[in-house]
Amino acid sequence: NAGVTQTPKFQVLKTGQSMTLQCAQDMNHEYMSWYRQDPGMGLRLIHYSVGAGITDQGEVPNGYNVSRSTTEDFPLRLLSAAPSQTSVYFCASSYSRQGPYEQYFGPGTRLTVT
């Protein structure tokens, strides 16, 4: 199993550009999520999905879109990049949103918006 994969690992964007961060998992997990990690703030939830075709907003959803057309893939779209979106982004998956199940994390994408 590859686990959770993310691409790209690094990205530099100019303000106003759009892009998609890719995330895939091969564990047949129902629950997938996107976090951003900023210094001193831990991980904050952007969007999540409890299954194909079902997505919802997390704590900091503004400026981001998601879709989940398959169980495996959960891309994150930045609509019009802003310097405030400079961060490290993690995709994670879990057997279920509920219960003691751990979340498995991808390796992260470091995004810089200039």
Partner 1 sequence: AQTVTQSQPEMSVQEAETVTLSCTYDTSESDYYLFWYKQPPSRQMILVIRQEAYKQQNATENRFSVNFQKAAKSFSLKISDSQLGDAAMYFCAYRSTRGNNNDMRFGAGTRLTVKP
Q: Does 90 bind partner 1 (CB under 8 A)?
A: yes
Q: Annotate each residue in 1-30 with x if it binds partner 1 (CB under 8 A) or - if it does not, as one string.
A: ------------------------------
Q: How far is the CB of 86 from partner 1 (least distance, A)?
A: 16
Rounded distance, CA 103 to CA 83, Å?
A: 28
Q: Does 93 bind partner 1 (CB under 8 A)?
A: no
- Which residues have CB under 8 Å from 41's CB, separation 6+? none
Tokens matching residue 40: 């001193």
Based on CB atoms, which residue is closest to partner 1, 14 or 99? Answer: 99
Q: How far is the CB of 80 from partner 1 (least distance, A)?
A: 26
Sign of the Cα torsion 26, 101, 46, 107 reads: negative
